[in-house]
Amino acid sequence: MSAVKKKKSGRKARSRAQAGEKDLVLGLGATGLSVARFLKHVGRDAVFLDSREEPPGLQELDELWPEAERELGGADLPENVARVIVSPGIADNDALVEAARDAGLEVISDVELFAREAKAPFIGVTGSNGKSTVTTLLYHMCRAAGHSALAGGNLGEPALDLLAEEDPDFYVLELSSFQLQRTKSLPAKVAVLLNITPDHLDWHASEEEYREAKYSIFRDAESAVINREDSEAAERTRHIDRVISFGLDAPEEGHYGIRREDDEVFLARGDDVLLAVSELALFGLHNQANALAALAAGELLELDPQAMLQVLCEFPGLPHRMQFVRRVSAVNYVNDSKATNVAAAVASIRSVDGMLVLIAGGEGKGGDFSALAEPLEKRLRAAVLIGRDAEAIESALDTIMPTYFARDMEDAVQQAAAFAESDDTVLLAPACASFDQFENYAARGEAFCRAVEALRP
């Protein structure tokens, strides 16, 4: 989003001199509308600005706040603005964001507003991968343990919309690096950091900035859950009294991990085995880690352990996240469209037993595809590539197995079906964002599912 010459919608705006100080809401869409609902409820004046002439959510804004001032198609920084509330998709190097900071204005996220207003304790969950699954697990664990809970943030309902409901016992928030970057105070009852791998380098100025945004979840937290593989996370939580770690190794007392007994693999807390991995409804090694992280956070919330374990036995996972679609002609088809970066795709690949045909590609966001080669070595039947960065993925895999290009998802699935052999898995793990070809990762996953359903045995 960039500052260009001022344009107005057809609606006549009120005089800024009469309006006085107000909030500038930068970017419409789901987050911008949630901010509008919140500001109208608390009686704050606002001006809404979007670089698009007809942004998503414009009709809803008209119905909600018909008299609200708005600037569409780009504008300069308005006068009499007290603070700027920025939607997550707008990068920090946007001209208006930089102008606001140069003017000494407060630039914040919707999550900052939530943290200032929320009356009930909240759990914040972030990480490059797995945060939606862990957020949803914790929501169900809270409810199974007899507590009221509301979940949202980067997943589902925007955080501010949750404040319109009756106060729950707990809020569970999925938090992106974009939201954390612009959140100054985040007094989470439990802060969970699952993992950090390079991502969103098209938004953040550097990998270091991305990592700092993730680690900021610990700054004001009461307690924390950390991944034992991340030594920096341990350093960043030294000021927190209660810290529980998780990992896929054997855990020390009071921490969570994996133990093996009599050729069986178990989730464990210290020396105590809790649940056989074979009883998990979730699939894959990375989901074992997600389950352990959720158990650690649940302990910090003092949730009933048996209720949490029951959820792990019943919750099958979220759509487009290692979702088993269908078995056709002795070949399994798995949809992990949510694998929008290289690390997520690597986790998906490692979670599959046997040979596979990989469907990958899209908008790479500056990621390094070379990391895909090692887990695919001697396991890749073929790679079928789609989207803008298909050639970059081909370059990373050209010494592994043959790669092929597809026009669209239907063509990719048909090619993959032709290459697959008995008991292979056709895995959609794009390692890329979807916006070069699809509205979002869900639309991409649905296209994959439709194409698989259309296959004939």
Domain of 437: which CATH number?
3.90.190.20
**Cβ-Cβ contacts under 8 Å for 169 (sequence gap 6 or more):** 120, 121, 142, 147, 148, 149
Most confident of 89-93, 146-150, 346-350: 146-150
Q: Please tell me whether residues 295 and 279 are part of one structural domain.
A: yes
- Say if residue 421's pLDDT is above 90: yes
**Per the domain annotation, does 185 fall within a domain?**
yes
Domain boundary among 257, 281, 314: 314
Q: What CATH number is given to the structural domain containing 154?
A: 3.40.1190.10
**Structure token digits, residue 379:** 């396991």
**Per the domain annotation, does 63 fall within a domain?**
yes
Domain boundary among 90, 108, 126: 108
pTM of this prediction?
Answer: 0.81
Q: What CATH number is given to the structural domain containing 68?
A: 3.40.50.720
Q: Could you give the residue numbers annotated as active site?
A: 131, 154, 200
**Per the domain annotation, does 65 fall within a domain?**
yes
pLDDT number for residue 356: 96
Most confident of 48-52, 99-103, 266-270: 266-270
Q: Please tell me whether residues 69 and 20 are part of one structural domain.
A: yes
Q: Please tell me whether residues 417 and 392 are part of one structural domain.
A: yes
Amino acid identity of residue 324, one-letter, is F
- Say if residue 4's pLDDT is above 50: no
- 420, 315 in Cβ contact below 8 A? no
**Per the domain annotation, does 377 fall within a domain?**
yes
**Which strands, in side-by-side order, build the sheet including 69-72?**
69-72, 46-50, 22-26, 81-86, 106-108
**Per the domain annotation, does 11 fall within a domain?**
no
Q: Please tell me whether residues 258 and 278 are part of one structural domain.
A: yes
- Say if residue 392's pLDDT is above 70: yes
As a whole number of angstroms, the distance between CA 337 and CA 433 comes to: 9
**Per the domain annotation, does 8 fall within a domain?**
no
Q: Mean pLDDT, to the nearest integer, of 266-291?
A: 93
- 343, 371 in Cβ contact below 8 A? yes
Domain boundary among 263, 293, 314: 314
DSSP conformation letters of 108-133? E-HHHHHHHH--S-EEEEE-SSSHHH
DSSP-derived letter for residue 363 is B
Listed residue (407, 423, 410) closest to 454, CA to CA: 410
**Per the domain annotation, does 273 fall within a domain?**
yes
Q: Please tell me whether residues 96 and 153 are part of one structural domain.
A: no
**Please, which pLDDT band fits residue 344 given cuts at 50, 70 and 90?**
confident
Q: Please tell me whether residues 301 and 348 are part of one structural domain.
A: no
**Structure token digits, residue 17:** 């001199």
Mean pLDDT, rounded, of the chain: 91
- Say if residue 11's pLDDT is above 70: no
Q: Please tell me whether residues 85 and 119 are part of one structural domain.
A: no
Residue 327, domain extent = 323-453
pLDDT number for residue 203: 59
- The rounded percent of the chain whose pLDDT value lies above 90 is 77
**Per the domain annotation, does 188 fall within a domain?**
yes
Q: Mean pLDDT, to the nearest integer, of 359-370?
A: 93
- Say if residue 6's pLDDT is above 80: no
pLDDT number for residue 280: 93
As a whole number of angstroms, the distance between CA 365 and CA 26 comes to: 23
pLDDT tens per residue across span 221-261: 999 999 999 999 999 999 999 999 999 999 999 999 999 99
Q: Please tell me whether residues 301 and 331 are part of one structural domain.
A: no
pLDDT number for residue 399: 80
**Which strands, in side-by-side order, build the sheet including 323-328?**
323-328, 331-335, 425-428, 356-361, 380-386, 403-405
Q: Please tell me whether residues 297 and 163 are part of one structural domain.
A: yes
Q: Please tell me whether residues 443 and 338 are part of one structural domain.
A: yes
Looking at the structure of the chain, the number of domains it has is 3
Q: Please tell me whether residues 256 and 184 are part of one structural domain.
A: yes
- 383, 401 in Cβ contact below 8 A? yes
Q: Map tokens 């007290």 to a residue.
A: 82
- 415, 407 in Cβ contact below 8 A? no
As a whole number of angstroms, the distance between CA 86 and CA 100 comes to: 11
As a whole number of angstroms, the distance between CA 15 and CA 285 comes to: 58
As a whole number of angstroms, the distance between CA 60 and CA 330 comes to: 48
Q: Please tell me whether residues 138 and 266 are part of one structural domain.
A: yes
As a whole number of angstroms, the distance between CA 348 and CA 285 comes to: 9
DSSP conformation letters of 4-53? -S----SSPPPPHHHH-SEEEEE--HHHHHHHHHHHHHHT--EEEEESSS
